[in-house]
Amino acid sequence: MRSSQVLGERVLGDRAERWLAILGGMVGTAALLALCLALGAWAYGYRRYSLHESRLRRLTELRPGADQVTQALIAEGGGFRGAARSREELEELLLRDDIRADRTLILSKLAGSAEARVFFVGDMVYVVYFGDDRGMRDFACVSR
């Protein structure tokens, strides 16, 4: 009788250990899956932003005129939202289109610019700054 009690306790112990191992494996797998998905989302966002950023940086080096930039972005399917010549006009434009991005960055780059033009390109907002010579001098690229 003693051996059957020991054997019964061992069988129950094996089941508990097995379920504990299965549960631990499931928790570990879920944690790794969550980590992979989070890293993938971060990488996608970084790549999306860096593509827009590098595109605008190359464009700035060419110093195209305001009308050239506007026509090119509209031809690509971007939406021209308006132009601003003062801080107040730019703030009004950002509020009108409900752009909640880093407004301090967008507004600070206006200093020394004759005009800023705002475009919606995909899920990004381009704010392109032009100097007195009407050539592109700077930009801000933020997510909508």
| Nearest residue to 66 (alpha-carbon basis) of 137, 141, 140 | 137
Predicted model pTM? 0.75
Count CB atoms within 10 A of the CB of residue 102.
Answer: 12
How far is 109 from 10, CA to CA, in rounded Å?
73
Question: Looking at residues 7-29, what average pLDDT do you find?
Answer: 79
How far is 136 from 113, CA to CA, in rounded Å?
9
pLDDT confidence band for 1 (50 / 70 / 90): very low
> Going edge to edge, which strands form the sheet with 124-130?
79-84, 115-121, 124-130, 136-143
Mean pLDDT check: name the lowest of 26-35, 55-64, 80-89, 104-113: 104-113
Return the structure tokens found at 82: 């308006």
- Residues of the chain above pLDDT 70, percent: 91
pLDDT at 94 over 80: yes
Question: Looking at residues 86-97, what average pLDDT do you find?
Answer: 91
* pLDDT for residue 10: 60
Within the chain, residue ranges assigned H as helices are 2-62, 66-75, 87-96, 103-108
- Work out the mean pLDDT of the chain and round it to a whole number: 88
**Is residue 85 within 8 Å of residue 115, measured between CB atoms?**
yes
